[in-house]
Structure 1
Amino acid sequence: MMLLIELYLPSGVLGAPQRERLARRLIAFMDEDEHSPTVLEDSRALTQVLLLEPQTWVAGDRTVSGHDNARYVARVSVPAPWVKPVREEMVQRFTRIIREAAREADADADPRIWVEIRGVRDGSWGMDGQTLSTPEIERLVTQRRREEVRGRVPVPGPRPATVHDPICDMVVELDDAAITLVHAGETYGYCTKACRARHAEELGAAI
């Protein structure tokens, strides 16, 4: 997963070591039980975290200052097709990570935390002067993993009745609501219909 994470926090609330730990926790938010080590490593390498302390910050009728750590605003940018499958989990996990960091700095902190999951339109990401489509980003993140499991798909997930999505490596529950494709006697599972469509095209299979 390729992410840009911008976190606005009151000036001076966290020291430099605390900011560093928080940034690393935000990068490491992906569940290690749900992704292979290779995909985790490559995803985290493409994730950028910016911690920003605005000089002027007004919320409602009050000024948010360095002495007021009750408000954090996180903006998380991901490719638009990924928003729906991950938004609820992202909001919950980022909220938890930020709240833990705030309470490590001040045990009595009761922060108000806003999280915005922003979908970036396809082709609006750029790296090294080249625009990237969502499939191209997915290949950057999953290419090494797909080479590892070539000839072994579908790859079983960490729990019974689960498999890894062959496009993005997410773990998929093979229940009645699963998005699946049966090809050559094998059942593949997908996190989205877009992943299924791309894999079906690779296999030359009809949906």
Structure 2
Amino acid sequence: MGINPFDQPDVESAKIEARKITEEYEKTGKLPPEQPFFEADGFALFSSEAYSKHLLEMVDEPSITEILSAHFANIDDGDYFAILAYVEMNESNEKILQKIRTNVLGKRLAATCLGFGPRFLHSTGQAYKGGANNGVFTQITADDEIDLPVPGQGFTFGVVKAAQARGDFQVLLDRGRRALRVHCSSVTGIGRLAELLTS
């Protein structure tokens, strides 16, 4: 694979991006603005300008389902599919996200994997960003139902998680990866997302 497990430059790049976001939050009291390329039904989609344009060109009438289907259609022979879930790691969410994996496996016959962020960053996270460009990534984020302040800091744990997700995603885009971020306006949106993808 050509990856040194004791050298994680791309993981460090994600940390640098995350620190920029938390520093911005401390200065302004809010996360830096971001603009989805498509938004509907409680979901917002983000990607690079080039990849979002590519996805929109693949569909006749843009919808969450059609754009996600286009994203999955970019999985070629020899590629793998990864879900990067920056949501609460619990049994319910894991079952929901495994349904998405199973659906992609059945339709695209590609290896799939699931990681909960930010914990995967120091393992498969380096391979995603520093390995071969044969991954298709779906990052899933959601607004938090409960948030708590970080002791001694001017931000919350939710802000830290959001910053790490954004930083990780930005480095994937900087490396030219086929990456799509799906933001759910509520944690219950994760279940609705799985229903859309498996219907």
Computing the radius of gyration from Cα coordinates, the structure with the larger value is 1
TM over 0.5: no
Which fold has the larger relative contact order, with Cα–Cα distance below 8 Å and residues 6 or more apart in sequence?
Answer: 2
**Under a length normalisation based on structure 2, what TM-score does the superposition of the two structures give?**
0.25
User: In proportion to residue count, which structure has more strand?
Assistant: 1
**Under a length normalisation based on structure 1, what TM-score does the superposition of the two structures give?**
0.25
